[in-house]
Structure 1
Amino acid sequence: MTSQSFNRIKIPTAFWVGISQTGIKADDVIRQAGLPISILTEQVPVSTRQYFTICKVFSELIDDPAAGIKLMLAMNTAQMPPSLLAPYHARDFHDALFRVARYKQLFAPERLHITEEGEHCTIELELLSDEINAPPLLVDATWSGLMELGRGGTGKLLKAHLVELSRPSDDMQFHQAYFGCPILVNAKYNRLTLYRNDLYLPFITYNAELLEILVPALEQSINEQQSSRSITEKIKWILRRSLTGGRPDIRIVSSELGISERTLQRRLTKEATSFHQLLSEARREMAREYLANPSLDIQEVAYLLGYEDQSSFYRAFRIWEGETPANWRVKQWTSDSKPQANSDLSL
């Protein structure tokens, strides 16, 4: 998990088409998520929380533990955005995986960490969000998306070595059959482990000419995104440093950045965020850190976060986590569940 904010997700058309292919109407998902229809009709960017809500609502509507895999199988590669299309035309599976890891920051609130060791390659999923857990749909879609990438590119029915899921045990029969490997649930991390030899299989879909067109545009988009995010990262750093025992306002932050309040507000608006939202995010991150420290009581935590009274902190925390700070703290301290293996294959 990271403190980086990711709040400009433009959901690709392929996602909505894939939902429709599963028999669920995309506008039903939007409506039940309580979100504006312009997200669907005009591709208006959504926040991480809204994106997670969409995943959750779709999962509830389809009511299938393998919803993420089936959603990915229903997607049409031709309708994917350039950031997803480019890896399909890489030189080999290894090249494709690293392109996915690099370009994923353009369309999803997650990061992939790739580690190669011995006979295996392990890919770990990290959220670029202050949410605690990734929606199961998102995790399954990510791992099955990589499998579809390898299988489609090589033309071979590749199998994984191991899939680790941080969620509790569920019906894993479809997962086992799809990935062709054991599924470890209640794991500490969400990971996909592949056979390293498979990474160097050439892609029959390799298209150097198309990559020459797509890659420069994607790299430019990454550079622009990283440049624009720097202002929010600086603000979050100032807020976290200045919060203890007080509440920094936009005047103080703009002064530290050496720009006017109006310029700061304009840049935040361009980033689809606000000073109030960044302050709330900084407080939420620090609240979790403070509550994990048993030497601090809740009244002290409220003070350190700049709240005038404990009840104000309680109200804010309920909005963030859906429960009281005391209950959240107890759950964190008693979270000692052990991973369980589910290795029966149904191939």
Structure 2
Amino acid sequence: MKTARVRLGDLSVGSVLSLAAALRQQGIDPQPLLVEYDLDPARLAEPRARLSIPRYMRLGHAAMQLCGDPALGLEMGRLGHIAQVGLAGVTAAQAPTVREAARTLIRFEPLYAANYRGQSSFAEDADGAWLNFYSISPYNAYNRFVVDALLAGWLHQLGALAGRPLAAQRVEIEFPAPDYAERYAEVFGGPVEFGAAHNRLRLDREVLALRNPAHCPSTWHQLLELCEAELAQLTRTRSLRERITQLLGPLLHGREPDLEEIARRLQLPSWTLRRKLAEEGTRFRDILNDTRRDLAMTYIRDTELSFGEIAYLLGFASAEAFQRAFKRWSAQTPGEFRRATRTG
């Protein structure tokens, strides 16, 4: 059975508009760089147009090299607009409160961004809420800006909706403090912890309760219906195999998930999952091996990760075990495969 190639993820092309604005703020015309990445005005105007995650990371890295500012992601967050994430953003802009706007942006994230590494989440308690961005470790010059842009963007966009600047109660970031660490205080207005266990932003309950002066109840509910319909359509078009493949990505880090764990996440008895997979002509072990193989090829071809880092992300006990498996899959070593895909 032929399966679709596994992708690391993609996002709406509207996401590059904040990058363009950040370059313009520094007196740099972003157009030549965007055209180099096939992001001309016509492409940026296409409805539902997407940009692959690896290409977005290379674009961000190129932009930082162009302007010489490693904190470009923070400026992207401050200069972005909520509508740049499409229907989900337009819907969030009509939410009655900051709380509902944050919920909306995160609930409908699949409409404007998909990443094999996970999905963002909103976790509220009695005193406030965490806006959680999943881990994209290991971190390097190609992906730190993604965390900066997203967390800063959430805070700025929610502040724009409330009509006033917001201060985060707390910010936690997985990677160690970068050379530009002092710039975070200005952007977030609250304490920032580096080397944390999560990437997340905390808002207190007073901020969450702030009202949106532009809220229109009828428009808000109509837009919610449109988002729910789009999200349902995305879910309906996925086979059981595709849903399992999507679940495996974040679970593979440093370990190998089993069928029972996947069954629990799908809220199915394990015997039912085995039967349904047999009806699709496959087995869990086949999906696991195919997912590891396809992700390995994608990571090697499209990222700068070391083979040891890739081995961890795919749940192998060691880089040597990963290299042996890769040789079985492709009749090439990981190094040979990377060289062939970069020169061919």
Within the alignment, does 1:143 sit opposite 2:151 as a pair?
yes
Q: Does the aligned pair in 1 maintain the 2:316–2:322 contact within 8 Å?
A: no
Q: Is the 8 A contact 2:77 2:151 kept in 1?
A: no
Say which SS state the counterpart of residue 187 (structure 1) adopts: coil
From 209, 226, 232, the equivalent of 2:218 is 209
Matched, 1:315 2:336: yes
Instruction: Report the residue type matching 1:72 in the other structure.
Output: G
Q: Is contact 2:168-2:188 (8 Å) kept?
A: yes
State how far apart, in whole Å, the 2-side matches of 1:188 and 1:48 are. Answer: 23
Structure 2: distance between partners of 1:214 and 1:281:
35
Conservation of the 8 A alpha-carbon contact between 1:114 and 1:123:
yes
Question: How far is 1:101 from its partner?
Answer: 0.6
Report % sequence identity: 17
Distance 1:226 1:48, change over 3 A: farther
The structure-2 alpha-carbon separation of the partners of 1:79 and 1:192, relative to structure 1 and needing over 3 Å to count, comes to: closer
SS at match of 2:184: helix
Equivalent AA in structure 2 for residue 293 of structure 1: A
Q: Which SS does the other structure have where 1:36 is aligned?
A: coil
Q: Match of 2:13, SS?
A: coil
My pick for the range that moved more, 165-174 or 225-234, is 225-234
Instruction: Provide the rounded CA distance (Å) in 2 between the counterparts of 1:186 and 1:226.
Output: 35
Q: In the alignment, is the contact (CA less than 8 A) between 1:166 and 1:187 conserved in 2? A: yes
Q: Match of 1:36, as an amino acid? A: D
Question: Matches of residues 1-347 of structure 1 in structure 2 within 5 Å?
Answer: 5=7, 7-12=9-14, 14-15=17-18, 18-19=21-22, 21-22=24-25, 23-30=27-34, 35-37=37-39, 40-43=41-44, 44-77=49-82, 81-109=86-114, 111-126=119-134, 132-133=138-139, 135-169=143-177, 170-230=179-239, 232-233=242-243, 257=280, 279-281=293-295, 287-288=311-312, 293=317, 298=320, 300-305=321-326, 307=328, 312-316=333-337
- Counterpart residue identity of residue 257, structure 1: E
Is the CA contact 1:66–1:175 (under 8 Å) kept in the aligned structure 2?
A: no
Q: Distance in 1 between matches of 2:322 and 2:20?
A: 46
> Which residue of structure 2 aligns with residue 272 of structure 1?
none
Mark the runs of 5 or more structure 2 residues left unpaired by the alignment.
Answer: 1-5, 257-276, 283-289, 300-309
User: CA offset at residue 74 of structure 1?
Assistant: 2.7
Taking a change above 3 Å as real, the CA distance of residues 319 and 80 of structure 1, as seen in their structure-2 partners, is same
Counterpart residue identity of residue 55, structure 2: Q
Deviation at 1:105, TM superposition (A): 1.6
Measured on the aligned residues, the alpha-carbon RMSD in Å equals: 3.9
Contact 2:22 2:72 in 1 (8 A): no
Residues 26, 277 of structure 1: alpha-carbon distance in 2 compared, 3 angstrom cutoff: farther
Which one is further off, 62-71 or 45-54? 62-71
**Bigger mean CA deviation after superposition, 84-93 or 5-14:** 5-14
Displacement of 1:17 after TM fit?
Answer: 5.3
Alpha-carbon distance in structure 2 between the residues aligned to 1:125 and 1:135:
13
Tell me, yes or no, if the aligned pair for 2:9 and 2:113 is still in contact at 8 Å: no
Matched position secondary structure for 2:110: helix
Q: TM-score, normalised by structure 1?
A: 0.66
Equivalences, count: 281
Structure 1 residue 149, shift from structure 2 partner: 2.8
Could you list the runs of 4 or more consecutive aligned residues of structure 1 that deviate by over 6 angstroms after TM superposition? 235-238, 283-286, 317-320
SS at match of 2:131: strand
Q: Distance in 2 between matches of 1:192 and 1:150?
A: 12
The alpha carbon displacement at 1:162 in A equals 1.4
**Does structure 2 conserve the Cα–Cα contact (< 8 Å) formed by 1:18 and 1:76?**
no
**For residues 235 and 194 of structure 1, do their structure 2 counterparts lie closer, same or farther at Cα, with a shift above 3 Å needed?**
closer
Secondary structure at 2:130 match in 1: strand
Give the distance between the partners of 1:215 and 1:280, measured in 2 at CA: 35
Q: For structure 1, which segment, 8-17 or 187-196, has the greater mean C-alpha deviation from structure 2 after superposition? A: 8-17
TM-score by length of 2: 0.66
Separation of aligned partners in 2, 1:293 and 1:97: 38
What SS does structure 1 have at the residue aligned with 2:129?
Answer: strand
1:319–1:147 CA distance, 2 compared to 1 (3 A): farther
**Does the CA-based 8 Å contact 1:166-1:186 persist in structure 2?**
yes
